[in-house]
Amino acid sequence: MPGQLIVRLVSRQDYEQWLPLWDGYNAFYGRSGQTALAGEITQMTWSRFFDAYEPMHALVAERDGCLLGLVHYLYHRSTTAIAPSCYLQDLFTAEAARGQGIGRALIEGVYERAKAAGANRVYWLTHETNHTAMQLYDTAGERPGFVVYRKLF
């Protein structure tokens, strides 16, 4: 029988297990092979989780010593509230562990930490073709109807 799922802050010792999850997340969004993120970006992202002056944080889902999922989130100010907002930026579960409640547990972990930090909301984006994840998101949050625009440089 598998052990209990634990959602916790990432530690420096997690890098070797975190990296394949991070690579899987990026591959899902087409950032692999020729379009892979530069190694410097991965290293900077990792270092930000351990920098007290950075608003970026990471949780991992662990069972029996094996990391099964990750979530990255950050806090930022808003012009419409005094309390900070929490942006859930990256969420990924290992393919073999999907459908076991890991994504929901990671989202709930962000909710708990955001409330403790005094945030007034948690929000996130997903691609419109990510139907499997949207089944979870439709029960974990609400769709406010906003459309995202961007300009890349």
Structure tokens at 31: 């950032």
Structure tokens at 105: 């547990």
Question: Which domains, and CATH codes, for the chain?
Answer: 6-140 (3.40.630.30)
Structure tokens at 26: 């990026």
CA distance linking residue 103 with residue 107, whole number of Å = 6
Q: Each residue's pLDDT tens digit in the chain (153 positions)? A: 678 999 999 999 999 999 999 999 999 888 877 777 889 999 999 999 999 999 999 999 999 999 999 999 999 999 999 999 999 999 999 999 999 999 999 999 999 999 999 999 999 999 999 999 999 999 999 999 998 899 989
